[in-house]
Chains A and B, each alone.
Chain A
Amino acid sequence: MTAPLAGTVPRVAPKARLEWDEVRQRHVLLYPEGLVALNPTAAEVLKLCDGQRAVTQIVETLKQRYRAEQIEAEVATFLSNLAAKGLVTYVR
């Protein structure tokens, strides 16, 4: 599995949709015949995956919101896991 390059621009794949699950009080990524339950940070990352922002910009935005040490690595791992399932694609 390869981590996305910092300059690449991710987006949620057309077949997937981010939704708020009111009953379970969490975001979910829905796709054909399945779903991924998301923690609040993961949902924030996906909201920023709009096909406009590069991974570097997403990381910068998150750094302003959260004081986490390893945001770069975590975002990279998260996105490559979803990309492996075809739920995130790279615009470039």
Chain B
Amino acid sequence: MVPKPLWLLAELTYRCPLQCPYCSNPLDFAGRRFRNELSTEEWQRVFKEAKALGVLQLGLSGGEPTLRKDLEVLVRTARDLGMYQTLVTSAYRLTRDRLAALKDAGLDHVQISIQAADAELSDLIAGTDSFADKLAAYRYTKELGFPLTVNVVLHRRNLHQVGDMIRLAATLGAERIELANTQFYGWAMHNRSALMPTREQIAAGWEVVQRERARLGKSLEIVWVLPDYYEEFPKPCMGGWGRAYMTVTPAGEVWPCHAAGRITTLQFANIRDRSLEWIWNESDAFTRFRGDAWMPEPCRSCARKTVDFGGCRCQAFLVAGDAALTDPVCSLSPQRGRIDEAVAEVEQEPWTYRSASASRTSSPILRG
């Protein structure tokens, strides 16, 4: 029987005032594939069909989702459907009035990113002065009674600040801080050698997390997303392909995760052509790696296949060159050497900021 989805990530737009070099958006976000954004009515249809399929958790993301002027309308629709909604925002130019309107429309939870623990480094990494706006938005969020998650993507240039980030989140009154070590997709893959942390940095960061967890107890939930290149076994990516999760991109393509669109050997359906139910149950992108019949060795005979589902298909595609192989992060993968090489290659070159102009010159698809 086909499992039912629980999670929908709605990437409402790929427009974004920030230029973070580790962005998980596609390298070709500025291209034709994503430009013709879904209308309000089309998103409302997506939400209704998602709820009917079983989705209970809705992420409103991007790009910068608050650039959509109809965000309040979309939030109200999803609330009427009974979905729990999280806004994932950079908080750039986000006003108290806007947040209050979103609260009124039924938004449940706000996640605001910071790029580092201080303005100078945070703004440098974001490529856009935004830290002051973020601090203001944290305050508004708490004043309005939202549960708040502080998000940070960790990499070589900010891992030394893990303790300061946690203390900042605690001071702001956040319920959660997500310390997500960079996963190498999208722009992060493009900038991999400029972002790759050292093993010592990871160990030091993890030590701080354990110490702060003991100190802060239940008052702040500290989520540490493992840097999978340093792991022995792959992550159980998305809890299994096509099992619980889907992403709808700004122009209506539906992906099994927010990075899957890069896999050129899959065919992605669009909600403008098909129902979400058909896409989830029948489309090539969702059925290809669902279950375990597709698995090659060493996964096929491995006891861990029900634990990690063979790891990440996008990583297999990006690093090993074939989405149907074992995640190369796995120590049992014949391709593990490629991960070890990437870890060894720590480069001091500057990174490429995520921008529309860089999208046109960096993306193999747009460059032609």
**A interface vs B, CB < 8 Å?**
14-15, 17, 19-21, 23-24, 28, 30-35, 84, 86
Q: Does B53 contact A (CB under 8 A)?
A: yes
Residues from chain B with a CB closer than 8 A to the CB of A31 are 84, 147
Are A17 and B52 in contact (CB-based, < 8 A)?
no
Q: A15-B175, A19-B56, A21-B56 are in contact. Are A32 and B149 (CB under 8 A)?
A: yes
Are B108 and A17 in contact (CB-based, < 8 A)?
yes
Please measure, in the bound complex, the distance between the C-alpha atom of A7 and the C-alpha atom of B144, giving whole angstroms: 30
Please measure, in the bound complex, the distance between the C-alpha atom of A28 and the C-alpha atom of B149, giving whole angstroms: 22
Residues from chain B with a CB closer than 8 A to the CB of A32 are 86, 108-109, 147, 149, 175-176
Are B56 and A28 in contact (CB-based, < 8 A)?
yes
Q: Does B215 contact A (CB under 8 A)?
A: no
Residues from chain B with a CB closer than 8 A to the CB of A24 are 4, 54
Residues from chain A with a CB closer than 8 A to the CB of B176 are 32-33
- Report the nearest B residue to A30, measured CB to CB: B84
Interchain CB contact (< 8 A) of B57 among A15, A20, A30, A84: A30
Q: How far is the CB of A38 from chain B (nearest CB, A)?
A: 12
Q: How many A-B residue pairs have CB under 8 A?
A: 46
Residues from chain B with a CB closer than 8 A to the CB of A17 are 84, 108
Q: A14-B147, A86-B175, A86-B218 are in contact. Are A35 and B56 (CB under 8 A)?
A: yes
Are B54 and A23 in contact (CB-based, < 8 A)?
yes
Q: How far is the CB of A72 from chain B (nearest CB, A)?
A: 25
Residues from chain A with a CB closer than 8 A to the CB of B218 are 84, 86
Please measure, in the bound complex, the distance between the C-alpha atom of A30 and the C-alpha atom of B85, giving whole angstroms: 10
Q: How far is the CB of A31 from chain B (nearest CB, A)?
A: 7
Q: Does B6 contact A (CB under 8 A)?
A: yes
Q: List 9 A-B contacts (CB under 8 A).
A: A14-B147, A15-B147, A19-B84, A23-B4, A23-B52, A31-B147, A32-B108, A33-B57, A35-B56
Are B82 and A19 in contact (CB-based, < 8 A)?
yes
Interchain CB contact (< 8 A) of A33 among B54, B86, B145: B86
Interface 1/0 per residue, B208-225 and A, CB below 8 Å: 000000000010000000
Q: How far is the CB of A20 from chain B (nearest CB, A)?
A: 7
Number of residues from B at the complex interface, CB < 8 A: 18
Q: A31-B84, A32-B175, A86-B175 are in contact. Are A14 and B56 (CB under 8 A)?
A: no
Residues from chain B with a CB closer than 8 A to the CB of A84 are 218
Give 7 closest A-B pairs by Cβ, nearest first. Answer: A15-B147, A30-B84, A23-B54, A32-B109, A19-B82, A32-B147, A23-B4
Please measure, in the bound complex, the distance between the C-alpha atom of A34 and the C-alpha atom of B109, giving whole angstroms: 12
Residues from chain B with a CB closer than 8 A to the CB of A28 are 56
Please measure, in the bound complex, the distance between the C-alpha atom of A21 and the C-alpha atom of B51, giving whole angstroms: 9
Please measure, in the bound complex, the distance between the C-alpha atom of A24 and the C-alpha atom of B149, giving whole angstroms: 28
Are B175 and A35 in contact (CB-based, < 8 A)?
no
- Report the nearest B residue to A21, measured CB to CB: B56
Residues from chain B with a CB closer than 8 A to the CB of A21 are 54, 56
Q: Which of B52-76 contact A (CB under 8 A)?
A: 52-54, 56-57
Please measure, in the bound complex, the distance between the C-alpha atom of A35 and the C-alpha atom of B6, giving whole angstroms: 10
Residues from chain A with a CB closer than 8 A to the CB of B175 are 15, 32, 86
Q: A14-B147, A30-B84 are in contact. Are A23 and B57 (CB under 8 A)?
A: no
Q: How far is the CB of B364 from chain A (nearest CB, A)?
A: 34
Residues from chain B with a CB closer than 8 A to the CB of A14 are 145, 147
Please measure, in the bound complex, the distance between the C-alpha atom of A21 and the C-alpha atom of B56, giving whole angstroms: 8
Q: How far is the CB of A42 from chain B (nearest CB, A)?
A: 17
Known pairs A28-B56, A30-B108, A32-B147 / 17 extra A-B pairs, C-beta < 8 Å: A14-B147, A15-B175, A21-B56, A23-B53, A31-B84, A31-B147, A32-B86, A32-B149, A32-B175, A33-B86, A33-B176, A34-B57, A35-B56, A35-B84, A84-B218, A86-B175, A86-B218
Residues from chain A with a CB closer than 8 A to the CB of B6 are 35
* Residue with the highest number of chain B CB atoms closer than 10 Å, among A17, A31, A32, A86: A32
Residues from chain B with a CB closer than 8 A to the CB of A30 are 56-57, 84, 108
Residues from chain B with a CB closer than 8 A to the CB of A23 are 4, 52-54
